């Protein structure tokens, strides 16, 4: 007999909706396919032709983990397990940061309006820069609970720090436990005092001098600039980080990751170690800071608060 299997799409299937099908969004999708964390990946972009091309290309990789990939509309994101926002305005030549933020506010407002209301358990991950400011802006614009809105923060910076140590001292990066906190960019700082390798303090294990720490921290912070100078953009590292983060949330692993999340002590979103679960951010890690680290984190928090306030009320903000 002639039998045709045309089963309807299951409404409860796990899915990741990626808004922005550029280099970063498409690379994130490829890592998600490889990891097999979701049954379905939905690509969304205002450039329909580019998006369709990326979807067809990604579909050719779907067989690796039987992951379905399709092109979607903004309304499709409302029922996704996680919404990953890579779309954001890039700074134009001669454009001020304030003007750039205003354009990003309009983009985020449009995205929020297009995907709301979302499911009660939908998570939102921001990747576009300045990620700490944009994550808080999206949370305030959308009204989605803080624990369900977070950003990639200094996750990649932290991995770069561990990789730099790994390459210098020949110890696997996955066994080096140290973090970078603050604001992704120039106001980030490595927490040397709380890092460890097999319970031995990082500074002691690697016998780090102040000169060593500065060189390694600067290398982690400035690596993106070197990559962009050489090839125009970065996407493999952030793609891997986002795939790791999103799987940690969706698969309810209760792992600790470095991300941009609400920090009540500083009254803003901040890049900080946090516990993740399928409900979002379950809590932040109470990290002890030195006086110098505290000064930089406070400055980062003030910059983020000002950036958010300036973006929402540009004529009234004063740092």
Asked if 263 is an active-site residue, the reply is no
Are 206 and 212 spatial neighbours (Cβ–Cβ below 8 Å)? yes
- Count the neighbouring beta carbons within 10 Å of the beta carbon of residue 292: 9
Q: E strands along 119-267, which residues?
A: 123-126, 149-151, 180-182, 188-190, 196-197, 200-201, 256-263
Distance, in Å, from the CA atom of 184 to the CA atom of 147, rounded to the nearest integer, reads 19
Q: Which of 175, 177, 184, 254 is labelled catalytic? A: 184
Q: How far is residue 284 from each of residues 124, 260, 271, measured CA to CA in Å?
A: 17, 10, 10
Distance, in Å, from the CA atom of 263 to the CA atom of 271, rounded to the nearest integer, reads 9
275: left (phi over 0), alpha (psi -120 to 50) or beta: beta
Name the pairing type of β-strands 40-44 and 123-126: unpaired
- Known catalytic residues are 184
């Amino acid at each position: 007999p002639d039998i045709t299997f045309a089963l309807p799409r299951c409404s409860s299937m796990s899915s990741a909706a990626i808004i922005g099908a550029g280099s970063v969004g498409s690379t994130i999708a490829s890592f998600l396919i490889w990891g097999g964390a979701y049954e379905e990946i939905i690509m969304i972009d205002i450039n329909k032709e580019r998006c369709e091309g990326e979807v067809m290309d990604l579909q050719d990789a779907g067989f690796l983990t039987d992951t379905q990939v399709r092109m979607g509309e903004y309304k499709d994101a409302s029922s996704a397990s996680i919404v990953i926002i890579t779309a954001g305005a890039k700074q134009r030549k001669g454009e001020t940061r304030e003007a750039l933020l205003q354009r990003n506010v309009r983009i985020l407002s449009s995205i929020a309006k297009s995907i709301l209301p979302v499911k009660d358990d939908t998570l939102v991950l921001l990747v576009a820069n300045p990620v700490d400011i944009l994550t808080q802006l999206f949370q305030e614009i959308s009204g989605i609970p803080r624990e369900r809105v977070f950003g990639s923060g200094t996750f990649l910076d932290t991995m770069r720090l561990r990789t730099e140590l790994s390459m210098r001292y020949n110890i696997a990066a996955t066994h080096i436990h140290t973090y970078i906190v603050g604001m992704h960019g120039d106001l980030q700082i490595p927490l040397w005092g709380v890092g460890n390798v097999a319970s031995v303090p990082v500074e002691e294990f690697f016998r780090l001098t102040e000169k060593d720490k500065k060189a390694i921290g600067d290398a982690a912070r400035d690596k993106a600039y070197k990559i962009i100078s050489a090839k125009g953009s970065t996407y493999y590292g952030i793609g891997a980080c986002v795939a790791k983060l999103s799987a940690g949330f969706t698969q309810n692993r209760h792992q600790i990751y470095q991300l941009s999340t609400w920090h009540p002590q500083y009254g803003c979103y901040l890049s900080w170690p946090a516990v993740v679960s399928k409900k979002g951010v379950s809590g932040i890690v109470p990290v002890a800071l030195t006086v110098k680290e505290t000064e930089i984190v406070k400055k980062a928090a003030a910059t983020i608060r000002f950036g958010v306030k300036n973006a929402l009320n540009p004529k009234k903000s004063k740092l």
